[in-house]
Chains A and B, each alone.
Chain A
Amino acid sequence: MSARRKCHLRAPGAGDLAEAELVDELSKDDLIRAHLDWAPVRLMALKRLHEAKLPWPEHWHWDWSKKADMLDLLAYRCMGIEQDGRMQGLMMLSTIAAKGRLKAQEGKAVLYIEFLESAPWNLRALVEAPKFLGVGIRLLEAAIALSEEEGFGGRIGLHSLPQSEDFYRKYMTDLGPDSSQSQGLRYFEMSTEQMHNFLEGKKP
């Protein structure tokens, strides 16, 4: 049974902070339901973008229902932020330790984020007025907590799509394009020190 922890999201249209829940172990059904909830909204947003001759987000084709089978394995865990019965953000993590690449933590265990996405109605690129802000922040916070729990010292790592590089660069170290794969996506890693800065509101 998954654990739920109360947290807040920013709700620009409805005052200040809205109460939400971090669900730290989603089921396959949860992912399928989230996909069915997100897909029509994403599709309408894509249509609007097309009509306005604006580019589509790089992850427009993601289908979380197809990732559900990953949860058959202990190696994967999915977390989500739920508000009013709807998933506001999803994050798939690998629980098999990745090797740290930052010099200060080379070879040490790092929690690797496989996929991370905020619901389409929370992204300013897709909707005029995002419903909630801070979903990505909350998910990174949750990843750090799990990394601590696993004994990885709060260290996390991920590969970013180009559209998200600026966001991760604010809090993590950009280690450049990963030569071990063909897409040339940049790898980002957060050290223990950066983790403290991130959580304490300091500049990383």
Chain B
Amino acid sequence: MATELTKRTMTLNLTDAEMRVLELLSSQKDLSKTAVIRQALRLYQLLDNRLSKGEKLFFEDTAKGEKAELMLMI
């Protein structure tokens, strides 16, 4: 008999703009809105983990050969 992982429910208050973005991402990525939120949370924690170790985050435009640091305050 399998035991189930516990999941908890919360209510999320979003602005109209935020909800539109969530719906758009959900449609573009073919993921449920819950899945999009979970992806965002995982990515946020990962970035926070590496940034707190002193690493830096960059965007690179390979076409132009340009790199720009993402200055995040998380």
Q: Give the interface of A toward B (CB within 8 A).
A: 1-6, 24-25, 72-75, 95-97, 108-109, 150-153
Contact = CB atoms under 8 A, between A and B. Distances in A.
Interface residues of B, number: 18
Interface stretch (B15-23, B38-46, B65-73): B38-46
Contact of B31 (A4, A73, A95, A109): A109
B3 A1 contact: yes
A96 B5 contact: no
A152 B30 CA distance: 8
B2 to A, nearest CB: 5
4 closest A-B pairs by CB: A151-B35, A74-B42, A5-B2, A75-B42
Interface of B: 2-6, 29-32, 35, 38-39, 41-43, 45-46, 49
Contacts of A97: 29, 31, 39
Contacts of A153: 30
Contacts of B41: 74
A25 B5 contact: yes
Given A97-B31, A108-B30, A1 B5 contact: yes
